[in-house]
């Protein structure tokens, strides 16, 4: 019998936050909000003063905005806008919302940046391996099944013109799990900024965006988790400063079959789960959606190809690899050096 492990519907949080002491000497106060969204949780910390809107109002506003994102981008909601797109077999142009087409456009752009290693149309393969809405597979897919599923995988099967989307292949199935949480983080950060809040840390399922400083007038500190499934320990702490941070890893969402581990991260080029010694990738960018997508694309590539691309594209990325003795090594792109 196989030993089957499946931890969560989506990528489990890989980045944790080291929040600084809340004591202060001015009329500013630290406010924290928590809630659930997109199959995971969110944690928001911001610095409020006398002019900041009421906490309950902001929480309700944020929950409303996140519910809208989920209704657009979830593959777990049958009547979400993305599910409607996936169910539609027409190859004629169709009109969709700003939110959905923005995510699709960024997914197509990042597919080009990563030479196809980040592919938002990888859904058929994700589902085939049991990591989609239907959960676990009953067996390891055959090479023929994988070849068949790959026939409808490729960002080139999507054409966008403004808010118009055309599927060149009727069987294209889009999975935005590599972008949606980051997009949600950006939406929340923009909501706080619109409310006049300039010092905040927003985190959804480990993806985050920060601005300004903590209550002690110090930069927010972010901790990258050690990539082990059995415990939660800190691997690396840094201060990204007014940026977004996202991490992708293969050590929490997987299943074992006949003593072989199969990661939830699928290489769209091979159709198989990734199998290399890179266990996590952290990316720093201005947009959390961008950081979210890039971290997955670089994770699929692995440290050798990914680090080369990161340096070519001036991306701030940290790769963690597992050594033969079980220890870990860190590798940094040139752009990430500023955070060391």
What is d(CA 189, CA 22) in angstroms, rounded to the nearest whole number? Answer: 20
What is d(CA 44, CA 161) in angstroms, rounded to the nearest whole number? Answer: 35
Q: 3-class SS at 327? A: coil
Count of residues making up the chain: 340
Question: What DSSP state is assigned to residue 199?
Answer: S
Could you tell me if 297 and 115 are in contact, meaning their C-beta atoms sit under 8 angstroms apart?
no
What is d(CA 12, CA 253) in angstroms, rounded to the nearest whole number? Answer: 7
63 is in an annotated binding site: no
φ, ψ of residue 197 in degrees (nearest 5): -95, 120
Spell out the residues 6+ positions from residue 258 whose beta carbon is closer than 8 angstroms to its own: 2
Tokens for 112, please give them.
């080009």
Could you tell me if 241 and 212 are in contact, meaning their C-beta atoms sit under 8 angstroms apart?
no
292 is in an annotated binding site: yes
Query: Per the annotation, where are the binding residues?
Result: 178, 292, 296
Q: Which residues are annotated as a binding site for Mg(2+)?
A: 178, 292, 296
């Amino acid at each position: 019998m196989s030993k089957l492990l499946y931890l969560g519907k989506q990528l489990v949080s890989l980045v944790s936050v080291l929040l600084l002491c809340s004591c202060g000497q001015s009329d500013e106060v630290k406010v924290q909000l928590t809630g659930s969204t997109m199959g995971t949780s969110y944690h928001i910390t911001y610095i409020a003063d006398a002019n900041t809107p009421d906490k309950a109002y902001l929480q309700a506003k944020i929950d409303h905005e996140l519910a809208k994102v989920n209704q657009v981008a979830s593959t777990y909601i049958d009547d979400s806008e993305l599910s409607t797109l996936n169910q539609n077999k027409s190859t004629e142009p169709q009109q969709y919302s700003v939110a959905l087409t923005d995510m699709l456009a960024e997914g197509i752009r990042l597919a080009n940046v990563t030479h196809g290693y980040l592919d938002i149309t990888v859904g058929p393969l994700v589902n085939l391996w049991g990591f989609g809405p239907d959960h676990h597979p009953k067996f390891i897919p055959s090479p023929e099944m994988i070849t068949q599923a790959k026939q409808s995988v490729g960002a080139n099967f999507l054409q966008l013109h403004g808010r118009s989307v055309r599927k060149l292949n009727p069987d294209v199935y889009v999975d935005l799990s590599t972008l949606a949480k980051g997009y949600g983080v950006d939406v929340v950060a923009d909501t706080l900024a619109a409310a006049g809040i300039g010092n905040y840390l927003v985190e959804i399922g480990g993806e985050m965006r920060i601005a300004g400083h903590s209550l002690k007038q110090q930069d927010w500190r972010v901790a990258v988790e050690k990539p082990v499934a059995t415990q939660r320990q800190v691997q690396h702490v840094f201060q990204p400063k007014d940026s977004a941070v996202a991490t992708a890893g293969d050590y929490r969402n997987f299943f074992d079959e006949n003593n072989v581990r199969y990661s939830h991260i699928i290489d769209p080029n091979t159709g198989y789960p990734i199998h290399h010694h890179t266990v996590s990738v952290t990316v720093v960018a201005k947009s959390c959606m961008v950081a979210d997508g890039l971290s997955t694309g670089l994770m699929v590539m692995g440290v050798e190809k990914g680090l080369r691309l990161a340096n070519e594209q001036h991306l701030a990325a940290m790769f963690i690899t597992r050594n033969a003795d079980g220890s870990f090594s860190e590798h940094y792109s040139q752009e990430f050096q500023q955070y060391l």
